Amino acid sequence: MLNAIVLVVAVAIVIVGLLRPGSAPSGGPLSALGGLGVATAMVAAGQLARLRFRLGRGTVSVSWGEAAFILGFALAPPGWLPLATFVGAAGAWLLISWLGDHRSAADLIHLASSLTIGAGGAAAVASAVAGGAPIGDSRMLVALVAGACSYLVITLGLATVTLALHRDASAGQILVRAVNAKVPMLVGNGLIALFGLWVLLREPLWLLAFPPALWLLQRTYRHHLVAEEERRVWAAFARATAALPGVVEADVVSAGLRGAMDVFGARRVEIELLRPGGGMRRFFEDAPGQDVAASGLPGPVITRTMAVAGSPVGELTVWLSEPTLPVARDELAVSAYGDALAGALHDAASHERLSELEARVTRDGIRDPLTGLTNRNGLLTGGDKALRALDREQYVGMMLLDLCRFREVNDTLGHRSGDEVLIEIAERLADLARDGEIVARIGDDEFALLMPAVITISDSASHLRQVPNPLTQVVRRARDLAEQLAQPMEIADVRLSVEGRIGVVVSQAGLGDVAELTRRAGLALQQARELCMTVGTYDNARDVGSTDRLAMLAELRDALAAGDQIVLALQPAVDLASSMPTGVEALTRWKHPRRGQLSPGEFIPIVEHSELLAPFTRYVLDRSLAAAANWTRAGFDLPVSVNISARSLLDPTLPGQISDLLKRHRMAAGQLVLEITESVAVSDHEIVDEVLAALRDMRVQLSIDDFGTGYSSLSVVTRVAVDELKVDRSFVDDMIDSPAAESVVRGAVEMGERLGARVVAEGVETTEQRTALLALGCTIAQGYHFCQPLPADKIVYALRQLADTAPPKIVPLRADDAV
């Protein structure tokens, strides 16, 4: 449609021009026909000397058309210029197409018609301005400049419309770049044409100097356009390569296709990637409005192999619009872009493989490989997450299912058939589970069903005001579940029925975690086995820890938040000979608002098996160091001893937390003694050794608590460098009457001397015990004989009393029992 309109307008302009008087401007050196021939030749020469630059996926030619118009208007009849332009331009573009820049007939007609319209408009403007003035008149000079500018405006306008309709680029982008490229040529063309006209009229011999000047000017124009094109290409290259990195291969491919289209102004871009198992995957993108097949696209095709460190990734193929840059430069640009794209694709593929591997490892860590159900780890992690999302008072249930006489299936039919039974049971459980419930295989023939939401629906026969019992609902469902699972199945051509026993527990979501629910359900399952019942329920009378333990966990959280319920009871350790205090042990007490004061044995085990351990440990350390800082300011340079749980030493951040607390209270590391048990010190966990080593490097003192009660006392002191051994109070209590207990104390004292560690006797309550310890060589002790545990606000006074009190006079017995 556009070509037809332009052609019709051009033909009309030619006809109208021919109908005008055919006289050349006055003062011209040539006849009308001679001027027409020269004008036609000048138009053809100007088009042959064209320069091109890329705009999107199209190209714009900048030629000497303005110079040809100026000379043609001065030498030929103005009305004949459209005809001269059409003939000259058509002839020139036919020659250009024949020489290798293949153009369709429609393109040739469009180009010639556009230039003809420009020439016709420019001739009209120049004629109106000149008004019949002779060639040498100043008015004619103004007319020639105005005509040249009109020619530029009309031809650029038509080119902008054409390229915009072809969607090669936006109209604004086309216009800006075209003006930037053409304006310098307009000035040069105009000056050269005007000077050439002056020379033609005055000194024709000077025309011999024009070819070198025109050659230099053409080279200057070409350099300007090439520099602008290179700047554009590499700016687009930078934008495109910056957008390439990604973690998904498909995104990188998409960005690579778009980037290549933008950088090279391509008609089509193809990316072929090698499949991991062989073969190729092909991706492509065509320019907007491009409908022809790839084999029929114009312009050169450049294909480059993409490789990373010599390993091929695939191939990049770019169909250029037209060879505006030298082919070598295009090839270098495509090669560079292909290398960048290959690296991005390799990184994305590596990231995807790593993500798949991580997902597989994560999946294998929480999935049972045989049945596909969640395993024990998945049940604990996923179940705890589900419980945390619930209201604390929401009832949750747990069922533990154990298959009866499953070993007989393995022994009779084989382990493969046993696996088939497990898979069938797993499928039935998964089908019977409700939304949000977690089915897991947690043992060989043991399954679990976690019910995060226990629906309590009243029985129709019950009183309307009666609150339904959630345990009753779960037990009823457990019986239904056992009945469904006992339905016959066919395994290895044998029809069999596998029965199971189920342990059930119901609790509120805020009163425990999945591990505790599983433990209680296990107790219920054990009850079902012992009583040969299908369903057993949790009975706290059978549990060492009652339901109060779960409630206490929530109350402990509130106690830590309150800040005044968990308090310290501080007990000094003294020198047996002088009664001078040598240190202070920080013991914890819980002033429970309802239960009264609780000893550590009543709540520490609950803390150790909950998420409260880390904040509880920080709380006790912070309070202990604050108390130590207080008695240090009072003049007592004594360390504070704090008991550390086994699980605390599995936390690699513990040394850093202790360091921060020491800095906060301005205490030296040596003023803190961490008491650990023998079983912790000899733990097989590598992280325990690392944490203890870090604490030793900080110069924090380490003490072995309850020494002598563990099963590996000797290995403790060889693996861990300790500063103190604390003899358990059980040996101190029995040492007077038990030679064996006395031997243990004596051995601890001797070992402490050899290791360079002080020995502290715990639980000293009588003068007789004190005397016996001195006789055995033990120099430090603590217990009610010296001072009972005191609150933090009274410890300084107690320390001062111990320091001021004269030591009791102790006279050791002679060997013959004489005094």
pLDDT in tens, 691-713: 888 999 999 999 988 776 654 45
Most confident region among 101-105, 464-468, 496-500 by mean pLDDT: 496-500
Helix (H, G, I), strand (E, B) or coil at 73: helix
Q: Cα-flanking dihedrals φ and ψ of residue 406, to 5°?
A: -70, -30
Q: Is the pLDDT of residue 817 over 50?
A: no
Among candidate residues 157, 224, 153, 158, the one with its CA nearest the CA of residue 188: 224
Query: How far apart are the C-alpha atoms of 444 and 764, rounded to whole Å?
Result: 51
Q: What pLDDT sits at residue 464?
A: 41
List the one residue out of 745, 392, 382 whose CA is nearest residue 558. Answer: 392
Predicted confidence (pLDDT) at residue 293 exceeds the cutoff of 60: no
Answer yes or no: 203 catalytic. no
Predicted local distance difference test score (pLDDT) of residue 24: 62
Which of 119, 168, 125 has the alpha carbon at shortest distance from 298? Answer: 168
Q: Which residue has the higher pLDDT, 222 or 680?
A: 222
Q: Mean pLDDT, to the nearest integer, of 462-482?
A: 75
Instruction: Sort residue 596 into left (φ over 0), alpha (ψ -120 to 50) or beta.
Output: left
Predicted confidence band at 43 (pLDDT cuts at 50, 70, 90)? confident
Catalytic choice (356, 446, 762, 765): 762
Is the pLDDT at 324 greater than 60, yes or no? Answer: no
Q: How far is it, in rounded angstroms, from Cα 444 to Cα 419? A: 10
pLDDT of residue 405: 85
Share of the chain above pLDDT 70, in %: 80
- pLDDT of 214 over the 90 cut: no
The string of pLDDT tens digits covering residues 640-659 is: 999 988 788 888 999 999 99
The whole-number pLDDT of residue 712 equals 43
pTM, rounded to two decimals:
0.41
Region label for 309, one of left (φ > 0), alpha (ψ between -120 and 50) or beta (otherwise) = left
**Three-state DSSP class for residue 106:** helix
Name the DSSP letter for residue 649: G
Residue 133 CB partners (closer than 8 Å, separation 6+): 25, 139, 140, 143
Question: Which residues, including other chains, have CB under 8 Å from residue 471's CB and lie 6 or more apart?
Answer: 504, 506, 537
Confidence of residue 780 (pLDDT cuts 50, 70, 90): very high
- Is 276 exposed, middle or buried, given 0-12, 13-18 or 19+ CB atoms closer than 10 A? exposed
When pLDDT is cut at 50, 70 and 90, the band that residue 574 belongs to is very high
For residue 553, name the pLDDT band (cuts at 50, 70, 90).
Answer: confident
The DSSP-derived string for 248-269 is SHHHHHHHHHHHHHHHH--SEE
Compute how many other C-beta atoms are within 10 angstroms of the C-beta atom of residue 467.
9
Please, which pLDDT band fits residue 456 given cuts at 50, 70 and 90? Answer: low
Q: Measure the CA–CA gap between 11 and 565, rounded to whole angstroms.
A: 102
- Residues 6+ positions from 767 with CB-CB distance below 8 Å: 785, 808
Average pLDDT, integer, range 343-352 = 84
Question: Rounded to whole angstroms, what are the CA distances from 536 to 398, 399, 513, 516, 557?
Answer: 12, 10, 20, 17, 32
Q: For residues 738 and 107, which has the higher predicted lDDT (pLDDT)?
A: 738
DSSP 563: S
Mean pLDDT of 615-624: 94
| Location of structure tokens 């800082």 | 629
Supply the pLDDT for residue 52: 59
**Is the pLDDT at 459 greater than 70, yes or no?**
no
Interatomic CA distance for residues 795 and 787, integer angstroms = 10
Please compute the mean of the pLDDT values over residues 288-302 and round it to a whole number. Answer: 58
- Min mean pLDDT across 39-53, 136-150, 249-263, 785-799 is at 39-53
pLDDT one-digit tens code per residue, 762-773: 999 999 999 999
Q: Within 10 Å of residue 295's Cβ, how many Cβ atoms?
A: 7
What pLDDT digit, counting tens, does each position of 116-175 carry? 888 888 888 888 887 777 776 778 788 788 878 887 788 777 777 776 676 555 666 666
